[in-house]
Chains A and B, each alone.
Chain A
Amino acid sequence: MPIKHPNLKLTRLTDALPAWTGEIGPDDLHEICRQVHDGGGRLVALWGSDTRQQDRGFQLHVLLLNETGMVCLNVQLSAEQPVYPDISQIFPAASRMQRATYDMLGIYAQEGHDHRKWVRHGAWHSGSFPLRKDFDAAASRTDEADAYPFVQVEGQGVHEIPVGPVHAGIIEPGHFRFSIIGERVLRLEERLGYVHKGIEKRFESMSLQQGAKLAGRVSGDSTVAYAWAYAMAAESIAKVTPPSRALWMRALLLERERVANHLGDLGYLGNDVALAFGFAQFWILKEQVLRNNAALFGHRYLMDTIAPGGVAVTLSAEGKRVIEAECAMLEQQVRILRGIYDEHAGVQDRFIGTGVVTPKLAAQLGLCGLAGRASAQAWDARVQFACAPYDKLDVQMSTYRNGDVASRAIVRFGELFESLRLQREILVNLIHEDEAPAALAKLPPNGFGIGMVEGWRGEVMVAIHTDAQGNLTRVHPHDPSWQNWPLLEHAIIDNIVPDFPLINKSFNLSYSGQDL
């Protein structure tokens, strides 16, 4: 990634993806971020680590992405005053990540405009930081009241609807504060963090294999994407390339995860506009995919099928035939159902023009994944950074530019059909010779690796740092929902409250994946 800056020396990571890393001081952060931003680049993730035991103070890690690849800036911060310049004015998506980084590590973005807590709701003292190595869990425990200053909208007839954390459906918990006039939404403010269960801290005490299991449970609907990204990061540190058969298997599993989730969401999108027929039909199809997963790979959602170094499952010739038959059946059935959705006046009336995110706003705020592609953001890691085996698959990206619920449904249909095509192509390439699996037992000391996979929701990233003994010292999983949640606040503006469930479902963002 060509960034020209006198104080930045980049080192190429051994990785399935084009990725570089470089160390800088806090003073150079702005200029480099500005340069990447002006060149059309984006912020992928921002996290911190406590390296005081190695006499290196704290570190801030900023992962940036442009068309040529990724660069991870490691910003050195002092142990006494861990501060850095706010970058949310360049990348607005950084704001919540900076707030979370403060809650977890106590490193502070100077001149930022929003310093409210993000992850911490009062479960631990405000002066103690869970991801510091000297964090004392017992001593930090508190039930101190936590007054959170929501932004208030004032004016005649304006009132608030607080919703959650326990929502009125089978859905993860979070809090939404609607400021409305009549039924029209003037402003929505999200407050998340309710399912924060200490995943990042948990990684620190785990072996590489246990960590793989945990990575697969960061977000239950994206277990393949997280497990692959985790494995990719570990393999990058160990400089190991998995056997090609394992890589083909991973892609097969990832596409199956995408198909299952799109089927489920398309069903719920029908349900949310009172077409219960859509829910029944799509969920029959989803259930058939899940049952095949259980029969072929031992798990309905494919948990624990990917291990660092390879995969933990195989596919027999009979299994191939099952998947081929399933693909043919889905292709035919989904085509019929898409025709029904397309021609159903009630569905189209509710879908079109609802929850619009314009391409301009999407670009400004960094909307990514399938929601981004529905707003003309043509990013798909399987296309731009096609790691094996996607480099042999020629993935066709689905994009649309209206940015409404209808567009997100169209993109889902497009990706579903493309996934079916990819699965068939993968099966052709999945040759029946088991290569010796490269069992990855332990990682080398002081390593750093990044893995990124285009999950069904968007780019899933996992970064691994190892200590002097090669143990996991810091693992940071990043969900595309970080980028996309703020856009939901914009998508609902000027819509009516009853359309919120529909708009929300069209994005279907993760709570667990970002609360961690």
Chain B
Amino acid sequence: MYQILKQIIKTGIKTETPPQVDESMRVDTQRLQQEILDVFGGALAIRQVDAGSCNGCELEIHAVNNAYYNIEGMGIKFVASPRHADLLLVTGPVSRHMEIALKRTYDATPDPKLVVAIGDCACDGGIFGESYASCGKVSNVIPVDVVVSGCPPAPTAILQGILTAISARKP
């Protein structure tokens, strides 16, 4: 225990300031009303769905949980079930084998809900494109509110996308 405490004190606080909201990431008009956003407040539950990615975007989504980005410190947490989620974070070109699973996950998420597509593949199909096995971008399968490009996008960009999705649209 002494070693653990010593290490924690020596490590100190690593968390950095979160990025600013970027309206250019928004692709859909705001589907939520201000009151609902107020209800979300500082407590957002995210369900991550890999719909066919190479696992690169997952690595960066893991990274937003680390001490530098500390997404939980902002009251945002990843949950195990779509039933508990306010927002779906979807990666990958949607493989044809994941099409139904993604739709069902979307349907299982209670309204009002948001969808953020993470990574080049989720934005436009990326290097895998559309084929006999791939449906391409996420918005080909379910409605998307915000897209975050990059291969994979850095953790700050992912955070920015999530914060953009839950922030009220400026008139």
Contact, CB under 8 Å: B80 / A168: yes
Looking across the interface, which residue of chain A has its beta carbon closest to that of B93?
A197
B67 at the interface (CB under 8 A from A): yes
Instruction: From known contacts A121-B97, A286-B66, infer whether A198 and B132 are also in contact, taking CB-CB under 8 Å.
Output: yes
A254-306: which residues lie under 8 A (CB-CB) from chain B? 264, 277, 280-281, 283-284, 286-287, 290, 294, 300-301, 303
Stretch at the interface among B25-33, B35-43, B55-63, B141-149: B55-63
Contact, CB under 8 Å: A280 / B66: yes
B9 at the interface (CB under 8 A from A): no
Contact, CB under 8 Å: A220 / B53: yes
Contact, CB under 8 Å: A287 / B54: no
Chain A contact patch, size range:
35 or more
B98 at the interface (CB under 8 A from A): yes
Contact, CB under 8 Å: A340 / B7: yes
Contact, CB under 8 Å: B132 / A195: no
Contact of B133 among A168, A170, A196, A303 (CB under 8 A): A196
Contact, CB under 8 Å: A170 / B134: no
Contact, CB under 8 Å: A303 / B151: yes
Instruction: From known contacts A197-B95, A284-B14, infer whether A512 and B3 are also in contact, taking CB-CB under 8 Å.
Output: no
A137 at the interface (CB under 8 A from B): yes
Contact, CB under 8 Å: B54 / A219: yes
Residues of B within 8 A of A123 (CB): 96-97, 132-133
Contact, CB under 8 Å: B132 / A199: no
A124 at the interface (CB under 8 A from B): yes
Residues of B within 8 A of A171 (CB): 50, 58
Residues of B within 8 A of A512 (CB): 52-55
Residues of A within 8 A of B131 (CB): 137, 197-198, 201-202
Contact of B4 among A135, A218, A277 (CB under 8 A): A277
A194 at the interface (CB under 8 A from B): yes
Residues of A within 8 A of B128 (CB): 197-199, 202, 217
B161 at the interface (CB under 8 A from A): no
Instruction: From known contacts A165-B98, A202-B129, infer whether A340 and B54 are also in contact, taking CB-CB under 8 Å.
Output: no
Looking across the interface, which residue of chain B has its beta carbon closest to that of A195?
B52
A116 at the interface (CB under 8 A from B): no
Looking across the interface, which residue of chain B has its beta carbon closest to that of A336?
B7
Residues of A within 8 A of B54 (CB): 217-220, 512
B101 at the interface (CB under 8 A from A): yes
- B11, B78, B151: most-surrounded residue (chain A CB, <10 A): B151
Number of residues of chain B lying within 8 A (CB) of chain A: 49
Residues of B within 8 A of A194 (CB): 52, 95, 97-98, 101
Instruction: Provide the bound-state CA to CA distance between A172 and B3, in Å.
Output: 35
Please encode chain A, from 189 to 216, with 1 for each CB lying within 8 Å of some chain B CB and 0 for all others.
Answer: 0000111111101100000000001100
Instruction: Provide the bound-state CA to CA distance between A121 and B133, in Å.
Output: 10
B165 at the interface (CB under 8 A from A): no
Residues of B within 8 A of A220 (CB): 53-59, 152
Instruction: From known contacts A202-B131, A217-B127, A290-B63, infer whether A340 and B55 are also in contact, taking CB-CB under 8 Å.
Output: no
Looking across the interface, which residue of chain A has its beta carbon closest to that of B104?
A166
A149 at the interface (CB under 8 A from B): no
A138-158: which residues lie under 8 A (CB-CB) from chain B? 140-141
Residues of A within 8 A of B56 (CB): 217, 220-221, 223, 301, 303
Residues of B within 8 A of A213 (CB): 127
Instruction: From known contacts A193-B97, A220-B54, infer whether A198 and B7 are also in contact, taking CB-CB under 8 Å.
Output: no
Closest beta carbon of chain B to A271's beta carbon, Å:
10
Contact, CB under 8 Å: B59 / A214: no
Looking across the interface, which residue of chain A has its beta carbon closest to that of B154?
A300
A173 at the interface (CB under 8 A from B): yes
Please encode chain B, from 110 to 125, with 1 for each CB lying within 8 Å of some chain A CB and 0 for all others.
Answer: 0000000000000000
- A280, A339, A515: most-surrounded residue (chain B CB, <10 A): A280
Instruction: From known contacts A166-B101, A286-B66, A287-B66, infer whether A172 and B50 are also in contact, taking CB-CB under 8 Å.
Output: yes
Contact, CB under 8 Å: A166 / B105: yes
B49 at the interface (CB under 8 A from A): yes
A337 at the interface (CB under 8 A from B): yes
Residues of A within 8 A of B59 (CB): 220-221, 264, 301
Residues of A within 8 A of B53 (CB): 172, 195, 220, 512
Closest beta carbon of chain A to B104's beta carbon, Å:
8
Looking across the interface, which residue of chain A has its beta carbon closest to that of B105?
A166
Residues of A within 8 A of B78 (CB): 169-170
30 contacts between A and B (CB under 8 A): A123-B133, A124-B132, A130-B132, A137-B132, A165-B98, A166-B82, A166-B102, A168-B80, A169-B78, A170-B61, A171-B58, A172-B58, A173-B50, A173-B101, A194-B95, A195-B52, A195-B92, A197-B92, A198-B131, A198-B133, A213-B127, A217-B56, A217-B151, A218-B54, A220-B57, A220-B58, A220-B59, A283-B67, A340-B4, A511-B55
**Given A221-B55, A221-B59, A284-B66, 12 further pairs, Cβ under 8 A:** A123-B97, A130-B132, A165-B97, A166-B105, A170-B61, A196-B133, A198-B131, A201-B132, A217-B151, A277-B4, A301-B59, A511-B55
List A residues at the B interface (Cβ < 8 Å). Answer: 121, 123-124, 130, 135, 137, 140-141, 165-166, 168-173, 193-199, 201-202, 213-214, 217-221, 223, 264, 277, 280-281, 283-284, 286-287, 290, 294, 300-301, 303, 336-337, 339-340, 343, 510-512, 515
List B residues at the A interface (Cβ < 8 Å). Answer: 3-4, 7-8, 11, 14, 48-63, 65-68, 78, 80-82, 92-93, 95-98, 101-102, 105, 127-129, 131-134, 151-152, 154
